[in-house]
């Protein structure tokens, strides 16, 4: 599996132009804009980068050759999860550091608990997207995966808008508002634990299915 890690690292290293742009924007954001945006921007770019290794693997029929290296098909799946999850997690940590540096530079005032809550909920969100994207890209194709990504964003946006609209229509009607209040009163710690637990479960299920997908695939 080590070979697969090195391969993916080199694939990303080869996208020098993109990386430089990515880092430049990250730094500019840190010093100028809303600091919290960093914690969504940086991990998101990282996620797109790690998922792009699948596209590169598919390019030029490369998957056939990759599967002749001394790895079993299941190894390929496992490596992708470890690589993607650690890549995104690492950049998420980096983004939080940048965020606090930015707070210092811009002398922003912030409520630590709120910031930590928002930041903490970012990671499971991206990990969940990875958990959905990897099996789709491997079972179907990276192109389909990209389409699905758009659809997901689309659905989320529609849901948010529709949800807002619905709530306004109902005009604070009982159940929904109560749920909202409950959510806001829930201890942030419980919320975070719940989010990570769900994330872990989904990732595990996803990885197991992907291993199975790879074992049944033909190259």
Closer residue to other proteins (CB): 69 or 105: 69
Closer residue to other proteins (CB): 57 or 137: 57
Closer residue to other proteins (CB): 72 or 144: 72
Provide the 3-class DSSP secondary structure of residue 34: coil
Provide the 3-class DSSP secondary structure of residue 14: coil
Contact (CB, 8 A) for 8 and 79: yes
DSSP string, 59-70: GGGHHHHHTTSS
Q: State yes or no: residue 194 binds other proteins (CB under 8 A).
A: no
Q: State yes or no: residue 211 binds other proteins (CB under 8 A).
A: no
Q: How many residues bind other proteins (CB under 8 A)?
A: 27
Contact (CB, 8 A) for 77 and 211: yes
CA 57 remoteness from chain centre: 20
Give the x-and-dash track for 44-83 against other proteins (CB under 8 A). ------------xx-xxxxxxx-xxxxxx--x--------
Distance, in Å, from the CA atom of 13 to the CA atom of 204, rounded to the nearest integer, reads: 28
Give the x-and-dash track for 90-119 against other proteins (CB under 8 A). ------------------------------
How is residue 72 annotated by DSSP? -
Q: Which stretch binds other proteins (CB under 8 A): 9-17, 127-135, 154-162, 181-189?
A: 9-17
CA atoms within 13 A on the CB side of 188: 10
Q: State yes or no: residue 5 binds other proteins (CB under 8 A).
A: yes
Q: State yes or no: residue 6 binds other proteins (CB under 8 A).
A: yes
For 33, phi and psi rounded to 5 degrees?
-100, -170
Q: State yes or no: residue 20 binds other proteins (CB under 8 A).
A: no
Which residues are at the interface with other proteins (CB under 8 A)? 2-3, 5-7, 10-11, 14-15, 56-57, 59-65, 67-72, 75, 218-219
């Amino acid at each position: 599996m080590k070979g697969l890690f090195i391969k993916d690292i080199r694939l990303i290293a080869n996208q020098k132009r993109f990386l430089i742009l990515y880092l430049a924007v990250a730094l500019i954001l840190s010093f100028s804009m809303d600091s919290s945006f960093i914690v969504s921007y940086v991990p998101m770019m990282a996620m797109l980068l790690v998922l792009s290794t699948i596209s590169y693997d598919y390019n030029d029929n490369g998957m056939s050759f990759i599967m002749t290296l001394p790895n079993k098909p299941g190894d390929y799946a496992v490596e992708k999860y470890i690589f993607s999850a650690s890549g995104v997690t690492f950049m998420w940590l980096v983004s939080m550091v940048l965020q606090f540096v930015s707070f210092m530079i811009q002398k922003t005032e912030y409520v630590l608990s709120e910031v930590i809550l928002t930041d903490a909920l970012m990671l499971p969100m991206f990990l969940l997207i990875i958990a959905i994207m990897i099996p789709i890209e491997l079972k179907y194709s990276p192109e389909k995966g990209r389409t699905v990504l758009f659809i997901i964003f689309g659905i989320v946006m529609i849901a948010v808008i529709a949800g807002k609209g619905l709530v306004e229509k109902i005009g604070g009607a009982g159940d929904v508002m109560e749920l909202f209040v409950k959510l806001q009163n829930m201890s942030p710690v419980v919320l975070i634990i719940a989010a990570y637990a769900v994330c872990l479960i989904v990732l595990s299920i996803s990885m197991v299915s992907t291993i199975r997908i790879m074992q049944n695939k033909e190259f």
